[in-house]
Amino acid sequence: MKEKRGAICNNIAELSVPGRRYYIMAALSAIIATFGLLSNSSAVVIGAMLVAPLMGPIFGIALGISTGDNTLLRKAVVAELAGAALVVGLAGLFGMIPLRPDFANEILARTHPTTYDIVIALASGLAGAYAILDEKMSAALPGVAMATALVPPLATLGLCLAAGQWQLASGAFLLFLANLVAIEFAATVVFSAAGVAELSIVQNERIPGLIKRFGLSVVILTIMTVFMTQTLVQAIGEQTFGKQLRTALNQQLAQMAGARLSDVLYEKTADELKVVAVVLTPQEFSPERVGLMEKRLEKDLDLHCELIIRSLISKDADQNGPVFISEEELLRRKQVARENEYMNRLSKALSEELNVIPGVQLVDILRNGEGENQIITATVRAPDPITPRQVRELEDKLKPLLSTNARLLVRSVITKEADDERFLYEKTEEAQLLEGPDVELLQKLEEVLTAELEKNVKGAVLNEVQFRRDEEGLFVFAVTRTPFTISPRTVKKIERRLQTDVEPDLRLIVRSIVAGDVSADDYVVFDEKVLNNAKDREE
């Protein structure tokens, strides 16, 4: 065990001693980080984190503190300060290039540290120290290097110093210092808890020893945590205020035809707010209108305001001339378009299902309710009312288009059509609502008929079954959709199967509605809902 701990200490000590390789890698990481920040490339900045050698001396500082090895501590501090100075110096040198671009998000993000950065650094220090102690976890070290981000804040510090941005430079330095101290503190805790301190002289007095090891780090971390928490609270407050300001301006602009907010710039002090609102509008804002908006803004925000409206002339037009469309109206039109598309698809599917019922025609379809409480009301013209059983069958067939708990209501408008001989689509006696054993009989008839049609007539679909009893036995009338008229021979074959499986005294008549589905190979039974399901998945 002591040999393993000795190897760990030797490894950390080697990483903490500055040499040629250390300075070469520090210089290369500084170059990569600097140009990654200038080009606003996250990938390049991450590469600099992986190359940077500054993590090693921090672990050396932690080990020196935990073991009381002042020699190792001094060498590690020198290595860390020298590496940091090299990175800052190179970044500042490159920052003096005349063609340097403006600071982008990758730079600005490292100039406003918050409490989150301390938490990340503490977790990274714990993970890094544990990975060094356990060889099996050494693969995690590159991830720790990316999480800690020591070189990017230093490169940002150099660039800000070169540009004379002292406030931004102080933020970048504070971020680096917070990362360094947090990682050192976390690593010291891990090394002490793991018993690495047993390799060297242990303090005789426990409390003074703990204060000596952790006191300075705790004080620095506490001070920075307080400061960064204030920064975080201020940032959240600024974000909240910015949303309130935009909301207040949008509410006023919504009352003006064609006007919409494009951008807002503001400067806020303790008792005054200066706002520049960039507005897309078909006509310039008058001073009187700006004055009214300013007073309303003061009332909404409870601050003295100075409002400037920058009018960018923007006119909408269609083929008939100028139009004034607000963002709310555009959103409403999109919602209406989606609703129309959905209702068209639902209407088409419902019409196709109703067409198989003789004399039924879809007249109108409406959707009421929201979410899972939707009710689809279909109005149909029919010679007889649509039964609850038929509505249930329609619901099942339309499930791919309906919401989870949507209900279908069918309003039947009774109509009678006649030619010069008779009424068309007259309801027969056997079509009455079934109860008790008749329901089971109908289900049995449908089951046998469906199986026999599938076996004897390719592409045939059973649409309807009716029956009645008379002196001669059971009379069955079946309506099918087939690619051709079913022959008497086939009907006789199906009738025999029904006599065997249902009742011996059974007579069958089949009405063939010729409308089959055909592929390139054969007649098929095709369900058009497959296409609707595919379209839903694409959307």
CATH number of 2-202: 1.20.1080
Residues 267/284, Cβ–Cβ less than 8 Å: no
Inform me whether the pLDDT recorded for 536 exceeds 70: no
Written as six digits, the tokens of 367 are 């959707």
DSSP state, 120?
Answer: H
Residue 327's pLDDT is 62
Give the model confidence (pLDDT) of 336-375 as tens digits: 778 788 888 888 888 888 887 878 888 888 887 766 677 8
> Which fold would CATH assign to domain 238-322?
Alpha-Beta Plaits (3.30.70)
Q: Which of 152-156, 315-319, 521-525 has the highest mean pLDDT?
A: 152-156
Q: Which of 4-13, 167-176, 269-278, 495-504 has the highest mean pLDDT?
A: 495-504
Residues 54/80, Cβ–Cβ less than 8 Å: yes
Residues 467/430, Cβ–Cβ less than 8 Å: yes
Could you tell me where in the chain the CATH 1.20.1080 domains are found? 2-202
Residues 263/296, Cβ–Cβ less than 8 Å: no
**% pLDDT > 70, the chain:** 79
Written as six digits, the tokens of 169 are 């430079």
Mean pLDDT over 255-276 rounds to 80
Q: Quote the CA–CA distance of 313 and 321 in Å, as a whole number.
A: 16
Give the pLDDT band (50/70/90) at residue 526: low
Residue 85's pLDDT is 92
Give the pLDDT band (50/70/90) at residue 429: very low
What b/e readout covers 64-103, taking b as 16+ CB neighbours within 10 angstroms? bbbbbbeebbebbbebbeebbebbbebbbebbeeeeeeeb
Inform me whether the pLDDT recorded for 207 exceeds 80: no
Choose among 411, 407, 346: nearest CA to 379: 411
- For 268, phi and psi rounded to 5 degrees? -115, 130
Q: Quote the CA–CA distance of 351 and 361 in Å, as a whole number.
A: 7
Give the model confidence (pLDDT) of 106-146 as tens digits: 888 888 888 888 888 888 878 877 777 776 655 455 555 55
Mean pLDDT over 151-176 rounds to 89
Inform me whether the pLDDT recorded for 433 exceeds 60: no
Choose among 211, 221, 223: nearest CA to 119: 221
Q: How high is the mean pLDDT of the chain?
A: 79
Task: Give whole-number Cα distances, 451 to 439, 445, 475, in Å.
Answer: 19, 10, 19
Q: Quote the CA–CA distance of 53 and 25 in Å, as a whole number.
A: 6
Name 118's Cβ contacts closer than 8 Å, sequence gap at least 6.
178, 182, 221, 224, 225, 228
Residue 317's pLDDT is 66
CB atoms within 10 A of CB 260: 17
Residue 321's pLDDT is 59
Residue 445's pLDDT is 92
Mean pLDDT over 473-490 rounds to 90
Written as six digits, the tokens of 500 are 């065997």
Q: What share of the chain is helix, strand, coil (3-state, %, to 5)?
A: 60, 20, 25
Q: Quote the CA–CA distance of 441 and 420 in Å, as a whole number.
A: 37
CATH number of 434-524: 3.30.70.1350
Inform me whether the pLDDT recorded for 449 exceeds 90: yes
Residue 535's pLDDT is 45
Give the pLDDT band (50/70/90) at residue 488: very high
Choose among 52, 169, 62: nearest CA to 112: 169
Residues 128/59, Cβ–Cβ less than 8 Å: yes
Mean pLDDT over 245-258 rounds to 80
Q: Quote the CA–CA distance of 316 and 258 in Å, as a whole number.
A: 8
Written as six digits, the tokens of 219 are 């004080």
Could you tell me where in the chain the CATH 3.30.70.1350 domains are found? 238-322, 342-418, 434-524
Inform me whether the pLDDT recorded for 147 exceeds 70: no
Written as six digits, the tokens of 397 are 């067939």
Considering the domain 342-418, what is its CATH architecture? 2-Layer Sandwich (3.30)
Choose among 115, 101, 97: nearest CA to 41: 101
Residue 179's pLDDT is 84
